[in-house]
Each structure stands twice: as C-alpha cells, then as structure tokens.
C-alpha cells in the first residue's frame, strides 16, 4: 500500500506544506514517470525523491558524485527514523556485506551510490533489488556543457535502459538550456517533464566589491568575520596558495579557521570537512571543490575571494549559505587579474569559446550597476518585476552624471599611447605619476599627462571599466590587456556623442547602507538566552550521537522554539522541521530547557489563542487560519482542541468525522489509553493524520 506524501512530510520531516513544485514532482514519480528537476541549492530537491522513496514498497537508488554528500544526507535521513544507507569506497568489506544483506532483505528504503559503484554493480546484486525509483543527483555532471563534467555519468544511460519500467529523476541546481537538452539525452530520460522552481533565494544578500587591493581585501574580510563571531562561513579562493594565505591571516587574527584544497591528502581533507560540519571549525577557506556535497544548513555567509568562472558556479556556491531560510550574507571580490587568468585557462581547453562567454557574463554581473538579483535570475530564465532590495546596488542606487569629459580624457590617453598600454599605465599617466615606467615610455611628455590627478586611482579604474562595459573601449587580453578604442569610443572622443557614468560609492557608505538592509531582513522576537541554551543542548546531543548539530535541529527550528516556547508534545510538533522521530528523541530535553526559561522568555509578538478563536468564528478553516497567522496547521488544531476543552463554542465534530473518532477510540483503548500520538498513528496504519488524532482524543476525553 502506497503511503500519503503529505502525511510523510509532516510526520517524518516536520513540515506542514510542500515548497513550490515538490508535490507535483513527487506525484509524477509515484505515477512511474521520468522527471527533470531544476531547483536552486537549498531549494528542496532532496525531498522530491526522498518522500516517494518512503511511499514505495521497495528501494530507491540515489546516484551522487560525492562521498560527503551521501554521508550527510544518510545521517539526516536516519535522524528522522528513515532506513537509509550508502555504498561507496569509504566503507569496509564487512560494512559492504551488511549493506548488501539489508538491501536484499528490503530493510533499506534509500541507497546512495556513486556513479562508478553503480556501473560496476549494475549486473550483480543490484539486479536482485526491488528498485522503484532512481534519482540522479547533480545531474549537470553528465553534460559537456555543464560546469562540472564527470565522464562516468555518461554511462548511466545503460542502467536507465536496463530498468525501462522504473521512473528516473534527474536533479540539478545548475543547467542552462544547452545543458538541459544534453542531460535528458545522455541519461536516456523518457518523456520527462521539466520542473523549474524559482531561483530567487530572498534570504541571501548579495554584495560585490571590485578592484580592492590584496592587503585591504584581507583587512576587510577579517573585519567582516569579526562581526560574525561563532557563525559558520566559507571563503572561496582561486588557488591553493590563496586558501593557505587567507586561512593563516585569519588564524593569526584569532579566528577558528582551516583551509581545504586538492593538494591535501584525503584523510586531512576529510578531517577538515568533518570539523566544519560538526561546528568545531567555524570558517573554511577553500578552492571551489569544497562544499559541493555539504548539506550544512547553518552556513551564515559565503565570500568569494576571487571572481568565479561562471554564474552557474557562483550561484551554486553562494547557495550554500542560508539553506535553513534565515538571513545570510554573500560577498564577491574581483579584479581584472582574475578575469585575465581565467581567460588564459580557457584558451585551448574544451569548449573554450563557451567558457569565455560564460566568463564574460560573470564579469558583466560583477560590474553591473543595476539590481544584481535581477541579472542573476534572468540568466536562469526567471524575471523579477521589482528590484530585490537586498543587494549592494539596491542598497546604494547608482548616481549618474555626465561623464563625457572624463571619458574624453581617458580615451585621449589611450590614443596618445597608441593603444598599446593597459589600465594601470593609463591611470598613472592621467594622474601624473612619477612611476619609472611612465617616464621610460615617454608618456610624461603627453598632453594627457596629469589631466586627471584630481581623481583617485581606484575611481579611475571604476570609470574605465564602465567605459569598457558601455562599449567605448575593448580590453585586448591577447595583447597584454592593452586598451583599444571602439567606433563608439572615437565618436565620444570627437564630441559627436555624450555618455553617462555612475559615481563610485565609498566603501564606508556601502557597508552602513548594507547593514540596514540585513537588519530589515531579520525575523521575530527570539529569547537570545534561551536560544543559546538550546544551542548548547543541541551541541551536547551532537557530540553524544556523533552527528552534525544541524542534523539534530536546524538553527531555524531552534529560533522558532525560542519564540513559541513549546512545552507540550503537541506544541513541540508544531515547530517547523520537527517530526515524530525527533520529537521522541529530543523533545523532552528541549522542553525541559524551555520550561526553565518560560517565566523570563519574551513571548512571541503574535495574537493569542483567542485570535484563532475569533478567526474560527468568522468561518475560516484551520488551514486558512494557519496561513493568515503564519503558523503551523498543527498549532491551530492544538488551539481549537484547547478552546473546546475550555468550553468555547468550537465544533470539533465538524472538523473530524465520527468514523475517525471511533477508529482512534479503538486504537486508544488497545494501547491502554496512553495519550501519545505516534503509537496511535502507527496502529491506524498511518491513515489518520496527527491533527485528526489530536482532536479525536480531545473529543473522547471531554465526552467521557
């Protein structure tokens, strides 16, 4: 018998509502049809195959490219009481045999495999399993057009063809139109339906800082990190050397930090990653390989030390922040040196023209003067009507001025140097620098020498980049980044056309305005003392069970506990992310801590239980009341049951049928009238929801 996805969502994972598209994707899998799921990092992809796996009477195979991803997801599933395991090169022969035995006996609902393992095992014991669904995670790895091509993924088509009646689901967070078509063909999906969810992660603020010298950049990062004490963050660097330099700098400044790159031995990388997952190390400085398999929900910020190679990679990397939905910050540093280096890497490589085009789009994003989220989302085919209000451009709208004269000074300098020099030399000439190279080139004799000494070096660099973006000049990377004047540029130089430029924004103003944006994004009234105590409890449970803290409870769940102050089983189940398994394992300890703080904790600034009663009297359903009050439906059922017990005019009989009440009464009596929900739920074959059980018990006890 197939189980109900909505019931599993609430009772196992602790959520009342599906995210957009999840339910439709799940229903398609249950109907035995192929799907292609394109969702952002942190958008809820895993739930799309995990819930069908729990509905089917059989096993779901999950193909994943990284051991760390398998381990993280399996731990999270097991903490919710789900039979899940992984099979990869990290486990012993004995452990392999145990997994094989359990899989054959039907004791595993989700089995995670690497593509290499899957291919090598496809004609062995895997054939004996009752496979009901196959999910291909990180599906962009199968495409040459993707940013992280893995050749072994291309062999999965043969496995797909060997299971013609089994639905396949391809999932990725990054795939443009070219990659999407290629993925479907490479995996051999049949009549698959494409699901594209919103890529708008509103909780992530976006900031870009360009042309910041190395010393200043390190100081800025150290100051940023200092303000984020005890918060987890990732700093992405272009090179291994950078990761070690930045980590050393922050270590000397007293921060909990480690570096991670491919030059380290596997054991050391594993140690660093595990320490980060368990919150023993707060900051990781890493090359982009890090984090692809990290499911850590409480990463509060991500910094890019260098310009990323493409928008797909950038979006995936910043998406590792704020997966729990709480406000999180992202910052990108870039300079033209990054761009030149990546251009050189692309030369002669696979898909060189495509890689360079993606790099150009990345640079355009970094240098944009309009809402960054609009640009980012439009790249993925999604369009915002209004500016986001949570990026540096929105926080500091550009101020335009007539930049024709400034442009003419720069263009004149380029022309007089015969279009042979780059940005740095041009600025030195315009500012009248006594640099030896300026004199050696004879440039101190030019008419343009010193005509821009009233403009700072950094501001000149900003203006020149704007000229390039507007098509007045071209940077010839193949000629040592020499500047060339375009036909439009010659028109401006000859006063045949005028242009507008934007004023650079001082870093101090940018920071203060930005912090206001983030403050506006913060939520609710959290009792901070209680929140810290709950974090301590979570940490001790984490160490005792050797599980990452966020697997026990997310920061978001703990914050909601510190707002709602649940002290009963029913109230605790109303916390988002709390399913029955977690309530039974950790609920008593958490509620004991909350009771101690109950008298001093700040109450949540929302209407009381009487407001639920007033809305009920207006004729609203429990679901409508929950939506209107932004509460869990379970909480509303609890309110109505309590109101009924207190003698208020609540007609519970209309909310739960007599047939259901009778079923609950029989199960309740057979279980020796123990007032706990899960045993009754299981006794009734999971066919009656927890809300119905709660109201039925209220009716039974009230009318005795």
| Sheet of 257-260, strand order | 204-210, 328-334, 299-304, 232-236, 283-286, 257-260
In the block, tokens 């994003």 appear at 365
Residue 199 CA, distance from chain mean position: 10
Q: How far apart are CA 629 and CA 636, in angstroms?
A: 9
Given pLDDT bands bounded at 50, 70 and 90, which one contains residue 149? low
pLDDT in tens, 175-209: 666 678 888 888 889 899 999 888 888 899 999 99
What pLDDT is recorded for position 448? 95
What pLDDT is recorded for position 293? 54
Predicted structure pTM score: 0.69
Q: Which of 640, 655, 650 is nearest to 692 (CA)?
A: 655
For residue 597, pLDDT beyond 80: yes
The answer as to CATH 1.10.150.80 being correct for domain 528-702 is yes
For residue 607, pLDDT beyond 50: no
What CATH code is assigned to 400-504? 1.10.10.10
Helical (H) or strand (E) element with 623: helix 622-629
In the block, tokens 């054939």 appear at 127
pLDDT in tens, 326-380: 899 999 999 888 888 888 777 766 677 778 878 888 988 998 888 899 888 888 7
What pLDDT is recorded for position 541? 92
Percent of the chain with pLDDT over 90: 38
pLDDT in tens, 637-663: 878 887 877 778 888 888 888 888 888
For residue 145, pLDDT beyond 60: no
- Main-chain dihedrals φ then ψ at residue 602, nearest 5 degrees: -70, 130
CATH of 204-340+352-381, one of 3.40.50.10800, 3.40.710.10, 3.40.50.300, 3.40.50.2300: 3.40.50.300
Given pLDDT bands bounded at 50, 70 and 90, which one contains residue 99? very high
Q: CATH topology for 5-196? A: Rossmann fold (3.40.50)
For residue 690, pLDDT beyond 80: no
- The stretch 317-322 carries a mean pLDDT of 91
Greater model confidence, 115 or 3: 115
pLDDT in tens, 274-305: 899 888 999 999 987 665 556 788 999 999 99
pLDDT in tens, 447-474: 999 999 999 988 998 899 888 877 899 8
Q: Are the folds of 5-196 and 204-340+352-381 the same?
A: yes
What pLDDT is recorded for position 605? 45
Please state, as a whole number, how many other Cβ atoms lie within 10 Å of the Cβ of residue 216: 12
Given pLDDT bands bounded at 50, 70 and 90, which one contains residue 599? low
Given pLDDT bands bounded at 50, 70 and 90, which one contains residue 321? very high
- The stretch 242-262 carries a mean pLDDT of 93
Q: Which residues partner with 172 through β-bridges?
A: 38
What pLDDT is recorded for position 699? 84
What pLDDT is recorded for position 290? 65
- The stretch 30-37 carries a mean pLDDT of 95
Q: How far apart are CA 635 and CA 295, in angstroms?
A: 28
CB 299 within 8 A of CB 554: no
What pLDDT is recorded for position 249? 95
- The stretch 23-43 carries a mean pLDDT of 91
Look at 70-84, 106-120, 343-357 and tell me which has the smallest mean pLDDT. Answer: 343-357
Q: How far apart are CA 455 and CA 592, in angstroms?
A: 63
- The stretch 61-67 carries a mean pLDDT of 86
For residue 509, pLDDT beyond 60: no
For residue 504, pLDDT beyond 50: yes
pLDDT in tens, 210-239: 888 899 999 999 999 999 988 999 999 988
What pLDDT is recorded for position 176? 67
What pLDDT is recorded for position 618? 86
Q: How far apart are CA 487 and CA 482, in angstroms?
A: 16
Q: Which of 690, 651, 655, 689 is nearest to 572 (CA)?
A: 690
Residue 97 CA, distance from chain mean position: 35
Greater model confidence, 506 or 80: 80
- The stretch 422-449 carries a mean pLDDT of 93
What pLDDT is recorded for position 523? 43
For residue 412, pLDDT beyond 70: yes
- The stretch 167-172 carries a mean pLDDT of 94
CB 41 within 8 A of CB 173: yes
- The stretch 308-328 carries a mean pLDDT of 90
What pLDDT is recorded for position 613? 85
pLDDT in tens, 516-566: 334 333 344 678 889 999 999 999 999 888 888 989 999 999 999 998 889
pLDDT in tens, 475-490: 776 677 789 999 999 9
- Domain locations in the chain? 5-196, 204-340+352-381, 400-504, 528-702
What pLDDT is recorded for position 513? 44
Percent of the chain with pLDDT over 70: 91
- The stretch 105-122 carries a mean pLDDT of 91
* Mean predicted lDDT score pLDDT of the chain: 85
């Amino acid at each position: 018998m197939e189980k109900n996805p909505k019931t599993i969502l609430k009772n196992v994972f602790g959520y009342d509502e599906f995210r957009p598209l999840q339910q439709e994707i799940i229903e398609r899998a249950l109907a035995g049809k192929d799907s292609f799921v394109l969702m952002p990092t942190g958008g809820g992809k895993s739930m799309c195959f995990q819930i069908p796996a729990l509905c089917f009477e059989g096993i779901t195979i999950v193909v994943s490219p990284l051991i760390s991803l398998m381990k993280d997801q399996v731990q999270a599933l097991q903490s919710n009481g789900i039979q899940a395991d992984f099979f990869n090169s990290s486990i012993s022969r004995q452990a392999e045999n145990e997994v094989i035995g359990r899989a054959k006996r039907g004791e595993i609902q989700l089995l995670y495999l690497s593509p290499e393992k899957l291919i090598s095992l496809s004609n062995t014991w895997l054939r004996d399993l009752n496979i009901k669904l196959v999910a291909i995670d990180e599906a962009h790895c199968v495409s040459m057009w993707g940013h992280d091509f893995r050749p072994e993924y291309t062999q999965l088509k043969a496995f797909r063809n060997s299971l013609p009646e089994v639905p396949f689901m391809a999932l990725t967070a990054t795939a443009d139109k070219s990659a999407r078509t290629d993925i479907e063909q490479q995996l051999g999906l049949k009549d698959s339906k494409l699901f594209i969810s919103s890529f708008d992660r509103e909780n992530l603020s976006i900031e870009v800082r360009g042309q910041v010298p190395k010393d200043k950049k390190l100081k800025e990062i150290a100051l940023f990190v200092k303000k984020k004490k005890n918060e987890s963050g990732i700093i992405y660097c272009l090179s291994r050397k950078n990761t070690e330099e930045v980590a050393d700098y922050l270590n000397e400044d007293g921060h909990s930090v480690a570096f991670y790159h491919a030059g380290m031995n596997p054991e050391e990388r594993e140690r660093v990653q595990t320490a980060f997952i368990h919150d023993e190390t707060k900051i990781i400085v890493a090359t982009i390989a890090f984090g692809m398999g990290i499911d850590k929900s409480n990463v509060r910020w991500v910094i890019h030390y260098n310009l990323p190679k493409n928008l797909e990679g950038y979006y995936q990397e910043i998406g590792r922040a704020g997966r729990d939905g709480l406000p999180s910050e992202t910052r990108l540093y870039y300079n033209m040196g990054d761009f030149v280096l990546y251009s050189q890497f692309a030369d002669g490589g696979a898909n060189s023209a495509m890689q360079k085009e993606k790099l150009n789009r990345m640079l355009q994003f970094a240098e944009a003067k309009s809402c960054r989220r609009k640009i980012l989302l439009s790249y993925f085919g999604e369009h915002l009507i209004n500016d986001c209000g949570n990026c540096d451009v929105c926080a500091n709208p550009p101020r335009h001025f007539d930049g024709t004269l400034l442009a003419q000074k720069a263009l004149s300098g380029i022309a007089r140097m015969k279009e042979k020099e780059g940005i740095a030399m041009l600025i030195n000439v315009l500012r009248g620098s006594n640099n030896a190279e300026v004199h050696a080139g004879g440039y101190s004799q030019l008419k343009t020498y010193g005509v821009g000494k009233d403009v700072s070096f950094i501001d000149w660099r900003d203006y020149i980049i704007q000229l390039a973006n507007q098509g007045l000049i071209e940077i010839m990377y193949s000629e040592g980044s020499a500047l060339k004047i375009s036909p439009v540029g010659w028109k401006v130089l000859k006063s045949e056309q005028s242009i507008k430029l934007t004023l650079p924004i001082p870093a101090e103003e940018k920071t203060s305005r930005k912090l206001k944006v983030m403050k506006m994004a913060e939520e609710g009234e959290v009792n901070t003392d209680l929140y810290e105590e709950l974090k301590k409890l979570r940490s001790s449970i984490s160490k005792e069970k050797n599980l990452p803290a966020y697997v026990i409870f997310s920061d978001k769940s703990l914050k909601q506990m510190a707002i709602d102050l649940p002290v009963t089983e029913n109230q605790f189940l109303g916390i988002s992310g709390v399913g029955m398994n977690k309530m039974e394992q950790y609920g008593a300890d958490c509620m004991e801590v909350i009771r101690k703080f109950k008298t001093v904790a700040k109450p949540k600034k929302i209407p009381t239980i009487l407001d639920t009663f007033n809305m009920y009297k207006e004729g609203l359903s429990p679901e409508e009341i929950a939506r209107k009050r932004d509460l869990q439906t379970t909480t509303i059922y609890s309110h109505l049951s309590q109101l009924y017990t207190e003698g208020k005019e609540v007609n519970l009989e209309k909310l739960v049928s007599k047939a259901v009440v009778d079923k609950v009464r029989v199960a309740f009596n057979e279980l020796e009238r123990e007032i706990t929900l899960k045993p009754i739920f299981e006794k009734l074959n999971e066919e009656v929801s927890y809300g119905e059980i709660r109201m039925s018990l209220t009716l039974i006890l009230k009318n005795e």
